[in-house]
């Protein structure tokens, strides 16, 4: 039996009167509206399921509790320190890499005492980009069963600053640490993961890279670079059994953000990392962005809202961001002036 849509169309056209063009146009726009409505509904349901019902991949898949090692960069403070502690708690031995040796020693001791796993440390200033440090890192991980890499190390501008006034050393450090170091460390680890046909690579992205951010333009660009690189790498390594994910975050309390008080929109590193490690493989707020996750619930809802209203590339967002960072810069300069006067 063939069902014809003619009777409906005829009735519809008759109801609209003589203008067929108006009738077809209105049908066309109604269809687009319906598709958008359904798609928004499905995305909303998916977001809620991923945030509050579904669980991420079990870390046992990567050898947690079975002698496997996780390598964390920027491990001695903030989000990296929490990754180190929480991965150790889940049974990974940990390689801790960051700048300050004394902080690494203390953290390694704390991890050993609390969780009884093995630890290795490597003081490494990524800003210096010394080949001897990369050689030392390669030698350190050579005998280890590394299955997890957390590319966490990162630097931002000390305060928001117009691009023309960015200090040359700061510009070089941001790109060297956020981009060059991330790529070079990953390149040391990837062959080991390919050989084992399993592994997990998480790289810390940022809303500063998701949304073009004036006055933090070098940081913003460096994090946007990581978005494309990580998503491309994810597609390359998926057939080899390796999971690669860019992790997006809005503000988290830390030395970098200079924020100490938590709020609904600003978790502490412990809360942020717990949500990240429990949602591996779930995009949460980063729907539509392949191999990307915005794990923390309020960050996810914030991103979903922006993407489904004004859009992340809109001039509304970058103008709003510009005004916000001009204000933050003014406040930071006033504070520096007060400190200079010893007030």
Ligand X SMILES: NC(=O)c1ccc[n+]([C@@H]2O[C@H](COP(=O)([O-])OP(=O)(O)OC[C@H]3O[C@@H](n4cnc5c(N)ncnc54)[C@H](OP(=O)(O)O)[C@@H]3O)[C@@H](O)[C@H]2O)c1
Q: Is residue 295 a contact residue for ligand X (CB under 6 A)? A: no
Q: Is residue 119 a contact residue for ligand X (CB under 6 A)? A: no
Q: Is residue 213 a contact residue for ligand X (CB under 6 A)? A: no
Q: What is the DSSP string of 176-238?
A: IIIIIIHHHHHHHHHHHHHHHT-EEEEEE--HHHHS--TTSHHHHHHHHHHHHHHHHHHHHHG
Distance CA 70, CA 233 (A): 19
Distance CA 204, CA 245 (A): 9
Nearest distance in Å: CB 55, ligand X = 23
Contact 318, 212 (CB under 8 A): yes
Stretch that binds ligand X, among 12-20, 68-76, 157-165, 183-191 (CB under 6 A): 68-76
Stretch that binds ligand X, among 5-13, 54-62, 119-127, 132-140 (CB under 6 A): 119-127
- The candidate with the shortest Cα–Cα distance to 82, out of 72, 92, 93, is 72
Q: Is residue 126 a contact residue for ligand X (CB under 6 A)? A: yes
Q: Give the helix/strand (H/E) hosting 248.
A: none
> Using the rule CB under 6 A, which residue among 84, 93, 186, 249 binds ligand X?
249
**Helices (H), strands (E): how many in the chain?**
12, 7
* 296 in active site: no
Q: Is residue 301 a contact residue for ligand X (CB under 6 A)? A: no
Q: Is residue 83 a contact residue for ligand X (CB under 6 A)? A: no
Q: Is residue 64 a contact residue for ligand X (CB under 6 A)? A: no
Stretch that binds ligand X, among 43-51, 98-106, 194-202, 319-327 (CB under 6 A): 98-106
Binding site for ligand X (CB under 6 A): 74-80, 98-100, 103, 124-127, 152-155, 177, 204, 206, 249, 251-252, 254-257
Residues with catalytic roles? 219
């Amino acid at each position: 039996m063939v069902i014809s849509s003619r009777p409906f169309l005829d009735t519809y056209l008759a109801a609209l009167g003589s203008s067929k063009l108006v009738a077809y146009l209105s049908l066309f726009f109604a269809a687009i509206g319906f598709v958008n409505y359904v798609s928004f509904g499905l995305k909303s349901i998916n977001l809620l399921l991923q945030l509050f019902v579904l669980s991420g991949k079990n870390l046992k898949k990567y050898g947690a509790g079975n002698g496997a090692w996780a390598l964390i960069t920027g491990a001695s403070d903030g989000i990296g320190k929490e990754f180190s502690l929480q991965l150790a708690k889940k049974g990974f031995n940990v390689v801790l890499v960051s700048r300050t040796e004394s902080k690494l020693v203390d953290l390694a001791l704390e991890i050993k005492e609390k969780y009884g796993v093995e630890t290795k440390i490597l003081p490494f200033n990524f800003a210096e980009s010394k080949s001897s440090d990369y050689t030392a890192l390669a030698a350190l991980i050579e005998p280890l069963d590394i299955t997890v890499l957390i590319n966490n190390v990162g630097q931002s501008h000390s305060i928001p600053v117009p691009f023309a006034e960015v200090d040359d050393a700061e510009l070089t450090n941001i790109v060297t640490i956020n981009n060059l170091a991330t790529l070079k460390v990953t390149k040391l680890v990837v062959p080991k993961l390919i050989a084992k046909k399993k592994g997990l690579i998480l790289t810390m992205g940022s809303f500063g890279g998701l949304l073009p951010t004036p006055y933090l333009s070098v940081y913003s660009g460096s994090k946007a670079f990581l978005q494309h690189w990580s998503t491309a790498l994810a597609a390359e390594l998926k057939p080899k059994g390796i999971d690669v994910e860019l992790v997006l975050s809005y503000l988290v309390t830390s030395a970098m953000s200079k924020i100490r008080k938590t709020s609904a929109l600003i978790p502490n590193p412990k809360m942020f990392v717990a949500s990240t490690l429990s949602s591996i493989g779930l995009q949460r707020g980063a729907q539509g962005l392949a191999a990307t996750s915005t794990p923390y619930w309020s960050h996810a809802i914030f991103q979903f809202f922006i993407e489904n209203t004004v859009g992340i590339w809109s001039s509304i967002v970058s103008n709003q961001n510009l005004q916000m960072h001009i204000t933050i810069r003014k406040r930071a300069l006033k504070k520096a002036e007060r400190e200079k006067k010893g007030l």
